[in-house]
């Protein structure tokens, strides 16, 4: 028996990275997985991969930042499935924008539209499909929503907003049997990292990954599958008394106040991670 047998799970941003990994994990645990994304080719590959392993999955082309796209998606789900049990608001974008006085307004608006507004829109229009039977909502936040990154104020603000939005939703829907939690990943090896800092084959990408080996107490970048298993815990009855929480899965980065000794005695610290 799978931990999500007979459940219908909706995952946004399911084409690649954490969303793709979570869709596959949920399907292996018995869920019918509704995969939504704007990357049509990658989305279809994710669904085909799940089906090839005997899982059940469907693809929907959805732009979470657009209200009409989300309402059409919600209408289609209601007509086809009636209800859903799990919603993973995972879709998001990120880009370095500079200091606030230099930060492009259009970039700030785009990140807010996809990351925060998208989480709001999908929740607003899909929660009605959960009201009768309850369920679990997981909002993908970030450690950047609890602390901050240099030159990325838009992303910091959006992810911080998601964490507090999650708490409000948890209070709003607790008596409806709907649990709401956020997942805050650290640095995870996804296509987004390749876009932000470069791939493993590029010099800057290599430097970034090397730095993370000693910045993270666990000594490495995380894997999408590791976030998927945390999402599975939050989606399943294993977390039946957990709501309104932000679960950090960051390799221990948020556990320290400043990396003092790691900088001062960096050779010893780096050696320990090799």
Mean pLDDT along residues 218-231: 95
- Residues 144, 148, 152, 158: what is their CA dihedral angle, to the nearest 10 degrees? 50
Inter-CA distances, 246 with 78, 87, 88, 261, Å:
29, 16, 14, 28
- What residues pair up with 37 in beta bridges, in sequence order? 61
30 Cβ contact partners less than 8 Å away, ≥ 6 residues apart: 1, 2, 3, 4, 5, 6, 7
Q: Provide the mean pLDDT of the chain.
A: 93
CA separation for the pair 189, 247 (Å, rounded) = 19
Helix axes 153-173, 118-126, angle to 10 degrees: 20
CA separation for the pair 158, 168 (Å, rounded) = 15
CA separation for the pair 178, 180 (Å, rounded) = 7
CA separation for the pair 114, 94 (Å, rounded) = 10
pTM, to two decimals: 0.93
pLDDT bucket at 165, cuts 50 / 70 / 90? very high
Q: Which of 54-68, 161-175, 187-201, 235-249 has the lowest mean pLDDT?
A: 187-201
Q: Count CB-CB contacts under 10 A for residue 273.
A: 15
- Inform me whether the pLDDT recorded for 86 exceeds 90: yes
Q: Which of 206-215, 221-230, 260-269 has the lowest mean pLDDT?
A: 260-269
Domains of the chain (ranges; CATH) run: 8-189+222-255 (3.40.50.720)
Query: Known catalytic residue: 155?
Result: yes
Q: Which of 33-37, 81-85, 220-224 has the lowest mean pLDDT?
A: 220-224
Q: Are 145 and 186 in contact (CB under 8 A)?
A: no
- Binning the chain into helix, strand and coil, the percentages to the nearest 5 are 55, 15, 30
**Site of tokens 């945390």:** 230
Tens digits of per-residue pLDDT, 9-54?
A: 999 999 999 999 999 999 999 999 999 999 999 999 999 999 999 9
Q: Which of 125, 155, 173, 256 is catalytic?
A: 155
pLDDT bucket at 1, cuts 50 / 70 / 90? low
Mean pLDDT along residues 1-16: 96
- Inform me whether the pLDDT recorded for 73 exceeds 80: yes
Tens digits of per-residue pLDDT, 88-147?
A: 999 999 988 999 999 999 999 999 999 999 999 999 999 999 999 999 999 999 999 999
Tens digits of per-residue pLDDT, 204-220?
A: 888 888 877 778 889 88
- What residues pair up with 98 in beta bridges, in sequence order? 152
- Inform me whether the pLDDT recorded for 55 exceeds 60: yes
C-alpha 73, offset from chain centre: 19
How many helices and strands, by DSSP H and E, does the chain display? 11, 7
């Amino acid at each position: 028996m799978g931990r999500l047998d007979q459940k219908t799970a909706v995952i946004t941003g399911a084409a690649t990275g954490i969303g793709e990994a979570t869709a596959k994990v949920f399907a292996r645990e018995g869920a019918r997985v509704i995969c939504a994304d704007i990357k049509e080719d990658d989305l279809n590959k994710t669904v085909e991969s799940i089906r090839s392993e005997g899982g059940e999955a469907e693809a929907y082309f959805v732009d979470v930042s657009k209200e009409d796209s989300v309402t059409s998606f919600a209408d289609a789900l209601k007509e086809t499935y009636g209800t859903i049990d799990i919603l993973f608001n995972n879709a998001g974008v990120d880009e370095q924008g500079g200091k606030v006085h230099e930060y492009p307004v259009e970039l700030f608006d785009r990140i807010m539209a996809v990351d925060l507004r998208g989480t709001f829109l999908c929740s607003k229009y899909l929660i009605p499909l959960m009201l009768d039977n309850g369920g679990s909502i997981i909002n993908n936040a970030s450690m950047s929503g609890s602390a901050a990154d240099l030159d990325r104020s838009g992303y910091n603000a959006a992810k911080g907003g998601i964490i507090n939005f999650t708490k409000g939703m948890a209070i709003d829907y607790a008596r409806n049997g709907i649990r709401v939690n956020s997942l805050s990943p650290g640095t995870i090896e996804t296509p987004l990292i390749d876009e932000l800092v470069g791939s493993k084959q590029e010099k800057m990408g290599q430097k970034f990954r090397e730095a993370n080996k000693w910045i993270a107490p666990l000594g490495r970048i995380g894997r999408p599958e590791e976030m998927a298993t945390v999402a599975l815990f939050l989606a399943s009855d294993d977390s039946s008394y957990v709501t309104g929480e932000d679960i950090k899965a960051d390799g221990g980065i948020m556990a320290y106040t400043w990396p003092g000794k790691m900088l001062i005695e960096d050779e010893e610290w780096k050696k320990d991670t090799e």
